[in-house]
Amino acid sequence: MTEPEKAPEKRRLFSGIKLVVAVAVVAALASAGVTALLVNIMERKQEAKNPFYRVVELDDTITDPAVWGKNFPLQYDGYKRTVDQKRTRYGGSEAVARTPTQADPRSVVAQSRLEEDPRLVTMWSGYAFATDFREERGHAHMLEDQVFTQRQQVTQQPGTCIHCHGSVYVPYKKLGDGDLIKGFEKMNQMPFAEARKLVEHPVSCIDCHDPTTMQLRVTRPGFIEGIAALKASQGVPGFKVNQDATRQEMRTYVCGQCHVEYYFKGKEKRLTYPWAKGINIEQIMAYYDEDGHADWTHALTGAKVLKAQHPEFEMYNQGIHAKSGVACADCHMPYQREGAMKISDHHVRSPLLNINRACQTCHKWSEAELLNRAETIQTRTFQTRNIAMDALVDLIHDLESAQKAGAPEESLAKARDLQKRAQFYLDFVEAENSMGFHADQEAVRILSNSINFSRLGQNALRPGGGASTAPDQRPAGAPTPGSAGAPQGSK
C-alpha cells in the first residue's frame, strides 16, 4: 500500500468534506436568506396592521392623550380643540363668563337652560336638575362640568356618574384587578368624590381605540351590556360588541357609549341602559313600567316621575340617516385632508359649524340650503316642544289645584301617571341634543304623544275622570272616556 494510492483517497475525502461544507454553507445561507425574507414579510405584515409611524410604544395602560398624541399629532390637535365654544341656532354652546369662586373655579361655563326656559324648573320640581342644567359643551370640559355642577351640592351622587365623564378604562381595570366589569361595579358604589380621585382625564384615546391596532373598540360596560340586551331583544343572543359589530357600526357605537338614556339600577347603582325591550320610546317606557324605577317624586304633585337624558343614540336610530347607514362619526368626525393623508376630525362638535365636510360629502345642496334644511327641522321641533311644555305645565298646575280641592285619589293617581308619561316623552326630545334633527318625524310624533298625555291627565281630573281606562290600554288616539264639557281646573 503506497501513499500515493492513499493520496487520491485522501484528496477525494478532502474534496468530499469540502462539498459537504459547501453544501452546508449554501444551505445555511439559503435558510438565513429565507429566514430574513420571512422576518421581512412578517414585519411588513405587522406594518400593514400598524401603518403608523411610532414615536412611542402604546399599551393598554396609557390614559394620557398627550402620549398617544406623539404618534398621532393630527388627531390629537383636533381632540384638543374640543375646548372651543361656539353657538349655532339651536346647538353648539355659548361661552358664559363667570367669576371663579373657591367652590367653583370655572371662569367660563355654558349657558343655563333653566334661565333660558323657566318652565323646566316646574317640570323638574324637586329634582336636582331644577337647580342647575346647562347647555352641553365640548369633550374637554366633561370632567370639570360634572364636578362643579350645583347638582353635586343638592344630592349625593354615586361614582357611577364618572362612567361617561372621564377616561375610566384603566381605573376600572385597576380597581377590578384586571377585570373591567368588576372595577365598574366597584366604582359605581363609591361616593362621587372618592371615585373622582381615581380618574385623571376626560374621554381619551384609549376609551375608543385599541392601542396596538388603533381599531375602534367599546370600553364602557354600560354600552357593552346595553347593546347585548338590545340585540337579544331583536333575536340575537350573546352579542359581543367588540367582536360582532361591523366597522361602520363601531363608528356609531363608540359614541353610543355615553350619548344615551340611562338610570342607576338598584342599591348597587349599576349603570343601566333601558333597552331590554328595544330602543324606541314606547319600548323604553314599557321597560320602566315593568321595572318600576322612578327618578324622583315631583315636589308639586307627588307624581313618581322619570327624566330622560341625552338619548342621541336612541333617537338617531329612528332617523333617516341611521336607516341609510350614516354613522355618528360621518357627521361629527368627518374625514379631512391633511396633506396626503385623510384623517378623521377629532374636533367632535356641531356639524353645522362644519357643513362643508360634514354634509357636502353626501349632499350636493349648497351650504346655505343645508343649513336651512337642518334649521327648518329644528324650528318645527322647537315649536312643537314649546306647545308640549305648556301642556305639561298646565297639567302640573291643575294637579296642584285638584290636590288642594280634595279631588278623589283615583283621579289624582291617574293624572299623576299621565304626568309621568307626558314628562318622559317631552324630556326625550328636550334632552336629546339635536332638536329633532337626528329623527325629525319621530321627534314630533313623540311630542304629539306628550301633548296627548297632558290632555288626558287634565281630563282625568274632571269629575268622574279617574274612572276611565288607562291610556295605554286604549288604542292609540282613541278619545278619552269620561265626562265631557266639565270646566278645566284653574292654573
Q: Which of residues 35-74 bind ligand HEC (CB under 6 A)?
A: 65, 68-69, 72
Decide if residue 436 touches ligand HEC (CB under 6 A): no
Decide if residue 443 touches ligand HEC (CB under 6 A): no
Cell of 253: 357605537
Decide if residue 217 touches ligand HEC (CB under 6 A): no
In this chain, which of 17, 39, 362, 486 binds ligand HEC, going by CB under 6 A?
A: 362
Decide if residue 467 touches ligand HEC (CB under 6 A): no
The least CB distance from residue 390 to ligand HEC, in Å, is: 22
Query: What sign results for the dihedral spanned by CA atoms 102, 104, 109, 110?
Result: negative
Q: How far apart are CA 389 and CA 419, in angstroms?
A: 11
In this chain, which of 343, 387, 393, 467 binds ligand HEC, going by CB under 6 A?
A: 343
The least CB distance from residue 355 to ligand HEC, in Å, is: 6
Residue whose entry in the numeric block shows the C-alpha cell 318652565: 119
Strands 304-305 and 95-97 come out as unpaired
Cβ proximity to ligand HEC, 197 vs 404, nearer residue: 197
Decide if residue 247 touches ligand HEC (CB under 6 A): yes
The least CB distance from residue 420 to ligand HEC, in Å, is: 20
C-beta neighbour count of 92 within 10 angstroms: 19
Decide if residue 433 touches ligand HEC (CB under 6 A): yes
Decide if residue 81 touches ligand HEC (CB under 6 A): no
Decide if residue 276 touches ligand HEC (CB under 6 A): no
The least CB distance from residue 419 to ligand HEC, in Å, is: 22
Q: With CB under 6 A as the contact rule, which of the stretches 99-107, 143-151, 225-233, 452-460 interacts with ligand HEC? A: 143-151
The least CB distance from residue 403 to ligand HEC, in Å, is: 29
> CA 67, 73, 76: angle at the middle one, nearest 5?
75
Cell of 400: 296642584
Contact between 406 and 306 under an 8 Å Cβ cutoff? The reply is: no
C-beta neighbour count of 267 within 10 angstroms: 7
Q: With CB under 6 A as the contact rule, which of the stretches 56-64, 177-185, 315-323, 384-392 interacts with ligand HEC? A: 315-323
> CA 128, 266, 221: angle at the middle one, nearest 5?
90
Residue 445: alpha-carbon gap to chain centroid: 23
Cβ proximity to ligand HEC, 287 vs 316, nearer residue: 316
Decide if residue 370 touches ligand HEC (CB under 6 A): yes
Decide if residue 429 touches ligand HEC (CB under 6 A): no
| Contact set for ligand HEC, span 149-178 (CB under 6 A) | 149, 151, 157, 160-161, 163-165
Decide if residue 391 touches ligand HEC (CB under 6 A): no
The least CB distance from residue 465 to ligand HEC, in Å, is: 35
Find the distance separating the first CA and the last CA of the chain, reported in whole Å: 134
Cell of 263: 338610570
In this chain, which of 303, 331, 444, 461 binds ligand HEC, going by CB under 6 A?
A: 331
Decide if residue 437 touches ligand HEC (CB under 6 A): yes
The DSSP letter of residue 215 is: -
Largest Cα separation within the chain, whole Å, is 140
Cell of 145: 362640568
Contact between 450 and 425 under an 8 Å Cβ cutoff? The reply is: yes
Decide if residue 440 touches ligand HEC (CB under 6 A): yes
Decide if residue 226 touches ligand HEC (CB under 6 A): no
Decide if residue 109 touches ligand HEC (CB under 6 A): no
Q: With CB under 6 A as the contact rule, which of the stretches 3-11, 144-152, 177-185, 474-482 interacts with ligand HEC? A: 144-152
> CA 237, 240, 242: angle at the middle one, nearest 5?
155
400's enclosing H/E stretch is helix 367-404
In this chain, which of 93, 450, 452, 458 binds ligand HEC, going by CB under 6 A?
A: 93
Three-class DSSP labels, 312-338: HHHHHCCCHHHHCCCCHHHHHCCEEEE
The least CB distance from residue 184 to ligand HEC, in Å, is: 11
Q: How far apart are CA 461 and CA 456, in angstroms?
A: 9
Cβ proximity to ligand HEC, 141 vs 414, nearer residue: 141
Nearest to 452 by CA among 482, 425, 473, 481: 425
Q: Residues touching ligand HEC: how many (CB under 6 A)? A: 88
Distances in Å between the Cα of 444 and the Cα atoms of 90, 351, 456 are: 16, 22, 18
| Contact set for ligand HEC, span 248-267 (CB under 6 A) | 251-252, 254-260, 262
Decide if residue 414 touches ligand HEC (CB under 6 A): no
In this chain, which of 281, 374, 395, 461 binds ligand HEC, going by CB under 6 A?
A: 374
Residue 193: alpha-carbon gap to chain centroid: 23
Nearest to 399 by CA among 452, 453, 455, 458: 458
